[in-house]
Chain A
Amino acid sequence: MKSTKSNLTRRRLLASGLAAPFVSMMPGVLTPARANETVKLQFMYPVGVSGDINTIISGMISDFNATHDGIEVEAIYAGSYDNTEQKVITALGVGEPPALWLPINSSLQTFLGLDALEDITEQAKSDDIYDDFIGGFLNTAVSDDRLYGLSYQPSTPVLYYNKDAFGALGIAKAPETWDELFETAKALTIRDGDELKRWGLTIGGGWHDWMFEGYCRQNGLVPWEKDKVLWDRPEAIEALSFWKTMVDAGCMAPASTWQGSANDFMAGSTAMLYHSTGSLTNLRKSSPFEVGVAFMPKKKQWGASQGGGPIMIAKKQSDAKKEAAWTFARWMTNTENQAAWSRATGYLAVRKSSWEQPEMQQYLAEVPQAEVAMKQAQYSGAFLQVPAYSRARDSLKSAIDRTLAGEIAPAAALTDATAEVNREITRVLRRQKG
């Protein structure tokens, strides 16, 4: 009984799969057939920068549903990035994935490993996606030259600095190189005897592995390939040694938490802060002083890695749903919506044309800091897109923490972490094949 049932489904699936290319060439045939049947899509998303995003996204989705007959999208808030990923993977596990979801870009290989993602390269090429999306953003959803998502809420780390503190010391501009960063941090650190009054620099904890990848890129190394990590390369070791030097000099906080570091910056307990561009609106509005934003200082070159995520489309669903999902993803990332989204949230608009909109130009005039983050995007790339990225991140964070706490030397910590993570990746890949 059961086998007959599954055969039937498979046969139907194959048949519709075969029919798809022919049917899609005949839009006239397709449209009337579907007009009387509403395609229902589920869209799972996290809330990254503020609770209001929930209202904004549900508002956008109601607009979409109102203007698109035959498609009905259900907005499903799914917690943080990690929660969203868990929820999607659970749904995939029972064979009923949502039509679309918005994960962090690092999870690309994880989802590809689960064979969960629809390849949207051809649709994107016949559209204006490759021309109009800012390259650094589009690339976060590319693997082996195939596109698996439309970048929606990208962010990168930037250097925030307390302009009042800079002014008081007569420092005119933000540091541009690692050496200048070190000097500036030393100058800004305030100690009263043994008691610390203000750190020169804090690197937002919890995501410090993300900033660390930025440091590797600034030193000319992309510290991963799609099936291994390269943290034991000299460029990476040099980056961690540089952090250790700053900590030893007493001008950089050896550890912090994500929210705590933002709080410290707003309270004036640290003069410079590496944090996400996603925090711009909050830091700018909640700080009792003027907030400056600058590129993360460079070594050999500018560099950053992308946070945030693309909208991905599920592979295991009907073609009608896939097409509707593409329509929705395309609509969420169109010029006007990206401009409005960017202004409302502080995330960076992914389209060049969005930045040319008059209201975006006006936003940039009001908040010139936003442009810095956008410009840094051209030097940025995807973040740690390896299988088992979550465990990889934990290993790297632990290696960094132990080094900065003085328990282990930078080279040893990174070599150990690399070996451990690469072993784990090999295991995951073997399991996927077998």
Chain B
Amino acid sequence: MSDVTQAKLSTSRRRAHWQRHLRANWLHLIMAPLALLWLSPLVWILVTSLKTNVEVFDQAAGFWPQSLNFSNYPSTLSVAPFGTYLVNSVIVTSSILTGQMITITLAAYAFARLTFPGKNLLFTLFLLQVMFPIYAIFLTNFITLREMGLVNTILAMIVPFIASGYGTFMLRQSFRQVPSELSDAARLDGCNHLEILWHVFLPLVKPTLIAFGIISVVTHWNDYMWPLLVTNSEGIRTLPIGLGLLAKADSGADWPRLMAGTTIVVSPLLLLFVIFQRRFIDSFMHTGVK
């Protein structure tokens, strides 16, 4: 091969390479500004948490704080035992999630794949539960918990949410989309219901499970009113109640400390997402169900 053709080939290969690069990554050009947009509130929260009270409202002060004022963090932490709150939030949210995952998969499987008398009526009742706003059943839930002797315990924040009509509905719809040939094949291979559920259905509806998991975690991590109602002792309360201490009724909010508190409250969730990001996104892509 001559030098000329060699050079020509390499130029065209380089051009092709560059074009391929652009074609594969042009999305980045759009995504980068969007990512910045998405990050901006977080940056704002972080920056505000490092300012002084006067700086927040002084229009002449500019966006960045004069000096990094980390004292907002200790003074936020002194308002309430945020460490205890954090542990409680983790316990409550993860227990609810675990409980829900078990109950909704079993219930959804029953509604999607089994036939039994009164199935439709029962399912309608499940849907009704979704339609009732949680506030409407506060008092009845409270009375139930009191009869169970659970008021002012960590369990009081978990028990009412163990079953989820919404999750059952969501998962039932996904289960129904799984081709019945797959489960029939599994049955021929000798699987019982639980094995079919575990080996066939669950792997195929992973995206739904994860989507529901995210919704559930975010909802219960941020839940304020119910935990406030059923708990009295500081030792069993959760993070949003601590945050509520900083958003005040009689005067304007104490922004630097509120933002410091917000940083403390949201960072575990963010961290969790960053760690499991790949798995979240992968599971949306690799699935046999369309």
Residues from chain A with Cβ under 8 Å of B245 in the complex: 47, 51, 54, 77
Residues from chain A with Cβ under 8 Å of B253 in the complex: 259
| Residues 88-122 of chain B, each 1 if its beta carbon lies under 8 Å from chain A, else 0 | 00000000000000000000000000000000000
**Given that A90-B138, A276-B251 are contacting pairs, would A286 and B229 also be in contact in the complex, using a CB cutoff of 8 Å?**
no
Tell me the minimal C-beta distance from B8 to chain A in angstroms.
62
Cβ-based interface call for B78 (8 A):
yes
Residues from chain A with Cβ under 8 Å of B254 in the complex: 50-51, 282
Contact B79 A283 (CB under 8 A): no
Residues from chain A with Cβ under 8 Å of B53 in the complex: 282, 285-286
Cβ-based interface call for A409 (8 A):
no
Cβ-based interface call for B56 (8 A):
yes
Residues from chain B with Cβ under 8 Å of A346 in the complex: 251
| Residues 275-305 of chain A, each 1 if its beta carbon lies under 8 Å from chain B, else 0 | 1101111110111100000000000000000
Chain B: CB-nearest residue to A87: B229
Contact A79 B54 (CB under 8 A): no
Cβ-based interface call for B136 (8 A):
no
Cβ-based interface call for A83 (8 A):
yes
**Given that A51-B79, A55-B79 are contacting pairs, would A258 and B228 also be in contact in the complex, using a CB cutoff of 8 Å?**
no
Contact B57 A79 (CB under 8 A): no
Option from B54, B78, B143, B257 in Cβ contact (under 8 Å) with A94: B143
Interface residues of B in 185-242 (CB under 8 A from A): 224-225, 228-229, 232-234, 241
Residues from chain B with Cβ under 8 Å of A259 in the complex: 252-253
Tell me the minimal C-beta distance from B179 to chain A in angstroms.
49
| Residues 231-271 of chain B, each 1 if its beta carbon lies under 8 Å from chain A, else 0 | 01110000001001110111111100100000000000000
Residues from chain A with Cβ under 8 Å of B252 in the complex: 258-259, 261-263, 266, 279, 282-283, 286
Residues from chain B with Cβ under 8 Å of A77 in the complex: 234, 241, 245
**Given that A90-B138, A90-B139, A286-B56 are contacting pairs, would A49 and B229 also be in contact in the complex, using a CB cutoff of 8 Å?**
no
Give the distance in Å from the alpha carbon of A162 to the alpha carbon of B234 in the complex.
40
Contact B57 A49 (CB under 8 A): no
**Given that A51-B254, A79-B244 are contacting pairs, would A86 and B54 also be in contact in the complex, using a CB cutoff of 8 Å?**
no
Residues from chain B with Cβ under 8 Å of A87 in the complex: 228-229
Contact B59 A90 (CB under 8 A): no
Residue among B53, B250, B253 with the most chain A CB within 10 A?
B250
Give the distance in Å from the alpha carbon of A308 to the alpha carbon of B248 in the complex.
13
Cβ-based interface call for B162 (8 A):
no
Chain B: CB-nearest residue to A74: B232
Give the distance in Å from the alpha carbon of A283 to the alpha carbon of B54 in the complex.
10
Tell me the minimal C-beta distance from A307 to chain B in angstroms.
7
Residues from chain B with Cβ under 8 Å of A51 in the complex: 76, 79-80, 245-246, 248, 254, 257
Contact A50 B229 (CB under 8 A): no
Residues from chain A with Cβ under 8 Å of B251 in the complex: 48-50, 262, 275-276, 278-283, 346
Give the distance in Å from the alpha carbon of A42 to the alpha carbon of B250 in the complex.
23
Cβ-based interface call for B20 (8 A):
no
Give the distance in Å from the alpha carbon of A147 to the alpha carbon of B21 in the complex.
80
Tell me the minimal C-beta distance from A137 to chain B in angstroms.
15
Give the distance in Å from the alpha carbon of A287 to the alpha carbon of B54 in the complex.
6
Tell me the minimal C-beta distance from A44 to chain B in angstroms.
8
Cβ-based interface call for B3 (8 A):
no
Contact A49 B248 (CB under 8 A): yes
Cβ-based interface call for A165 (8 A):
no
Contact B139 A93 (CB under 8 A): yes
**Given that A42-B232, A55-B78, A287-B57 are contacting pairs, would A276 and B250 also be in contact in the complex, using a CB cutoff of 8 Å?**
yes
Chain A: CB-nearest residue to B257: A51
Chain B: CB-nearest residue to A86: B229
Cβ-based interface call for B161 (8 A):
no
Interface residues of B in 10-42 (CB under 8 A from A): none
Contact A267 B57 (CB under 8 A): yes
The number of chain A residues touching the other chain, given as a range, is 35 or more
Residues from chain A with Cβ under 8 Å of B139 in the complex: 90, 93
Cβ-based interface call for A80 (8 A):
yes
| Residues 61-89 of chain A, each 1 if its beta carbon lies under 8 Å from chain B, else 0 | 00000000000001011111101001100
Tell me the minimal C-beta distance from B236 to chain A in angstroms.
12
Cβ-based interface call for A333 (8 A):
no
Residue among A46, A48, A54 with the most chain B CB within 10 A?
A54
Cβ-based interface call for B142 (8 A):
yes
Cβ-based interface call for A52 (8 A):
yes
Cβ-based interface call for A250 (8 A):
no
| Residues 149-160 of chain B, each 1 if its beta carbon lies under 8 Å from chain A, else 0 | 000000000000
Contact A279 B228 (CB under 8 A): no
Give the distance in Å from the alpha carbon of A46 to the alpha carbon of B252 in the complex.
15
Residues from chain A with Cβ under 8 Å of B181 in the complex: none
Option from B60, B76, B229, B250 in Cβ contact (under 8 Å) with A308: B250
**Given that A42-B232, A286-B56, A287-B57 are contacting pairs, would A47 and B249 also be in contact in the complex, using a CB cutoff of 8 Å?**
yes
Tell me the minimal C-beta distance from A203 to chain B in angstroms.
14
Residues from chain B with Cβ under 8 Å of A155 in the complex: 250
Give the distance in Å from the alpha carbon of A261 to the alpha carbon of B125 in the complex.
46
Residues from chain A with Cβ under 8 Å of B250 in the complex: 48-49, 155, 276, 278-279, 307-308
Cβ-based interface call for A268 (8 A):
yes
Interface residues of B in 136-186 (CB under 8 A from A): 138-139, 142-143, 146
Give the distance in Å from the alpha carbon of A207 to the alpha carbon of B254 in the complex.
19
Residues from chain B with Cβ under 8 Å of A83 in the complex: 225, 228, 244
Residues from chain B with Cβ under 8 Å of A86 in the complex: 138, 225, 229
What are 20 of the A-B contact pairs (CB < 8 Å)?
Answer: A48-B248, A48-B250, A50-B254, A51-B245, A51-B248, A51-B254, A54-B79, A54-B245, A55-B78, A77-B241, A87-B229, A90-B138, A90-B229, A94-B146, A262-B251, A262-B252, A263-B252, A266-B56, A279-B251, A285-B54
Q: What are the 7 tightest A-B residue pairs by CB atom distance, in nearest-first order?
A: A262-B252, A278-B250, A48-B250, A279-B251, A266-B57, A51-B79, A51-B245
Chain A residues within CB distance 8 Å of chain B:
42, 46-52, 54-55, 74, 76-81, 83, 86-87, 90, 93-94, 96, 155, 258-259, 261-263, 266-268, 275-276, 278-283, 285-288, 307-308, 346
Chain B residues within CB distance 8 Å of chain A:
53-54, 56-60, 76, 78-80, 138-139, 142-143, 146, 224-225, 228-229, 232-234, 241, 244-246, 248-254, 257
